[in-house]
Amino acid sequence: MKIEKNTVVSLRYELIDEATGELVEKVEEPVSYLHGGYDGIFPLVEEALHGKRVGDECSVTLQPDDAFGEYEHELVEVEARSAFPEDIEVGMQFEGAPEESDDEDFILYTVLEVGDDEVTVDGNHPLAGKTLTFNCKVTGVRPATAEELAHEHVHDEGSHLH
């Protein structure tokens, strides 16, 4: 079966940082997405996979705007240490609203630095600003179920989690 709109595609993939050659992520256990513009995968990767079959491979170079966006320096913020719990540590993550935004615009922040009086946090995705190579191999293609199409995402076998 060919990958086309309204098919569920399963694949293994790896992400490589073009600048350093570093393997950023490798997924051995297949992940699935609903093909056809449902925002389950990077649009350029979806375009490259269209028409492929099980066993086919593809490699797509993703510029920052095609992946996790440009690095936005204004998303690095320094906050009062008193605004955080006592056990805050570098690397911890939490959701919050950026300064000067609507309260509904929550993003994931990562703690970069913890000082005596201040905490530095970064609201950028860790891969923001990076050009990445997305290498993948198709491991499965099947028609989407009516339920998956109605909900516009893949449902794991035997479950209905949202």
**CATH code at position 12:** 3.10.50.40
* Domain housing 24: 7-67+128-151
* Number of domains present in the structure of the chain: 2
Residue 158, domain member (yes or no): no
Over residues 135-151, the pLDDT tens digits come to: 999 999 999 999 999 99
In a domain, 20, yes or no: yes
- Per residue in 16-30, pLDDT tens? 999 999 999 999 999
* Kind plus residue range of the DSSP H or E element containing 11: strand 7-17
Contact of 131 with 64, CB cutoff 8 Å: yes
Chain centroid to Cα 102, Å, comes to 23
In this structure, the answer to whether residues 86 and 61 fall within a common structural domain is no
Same domain, 89 and 55: no
Residue 101's pLDDT is: 66
Position 115: which residue type?
G
90 domain-assigned? yes
Number of H helices, E strands in the chain: 2, 8
Phi then psi dihedrals of residue 22, to 5 deg: -70, 135
Residue 158 has pLDDT above 50, yes or no: no
Residues 11 and 33 grouped into a single domain = yes
For residue 162, tell me if it sits in a domain: no
CB of 49 closer than 8 Å to CB of 3? yes
In this predicted model, what pLDDT tens digit does every residue of 85-138 receive, in sequence order? 999 999 999 998 777 666 567 889 999 999 999 999 999 999 999 999 999 999
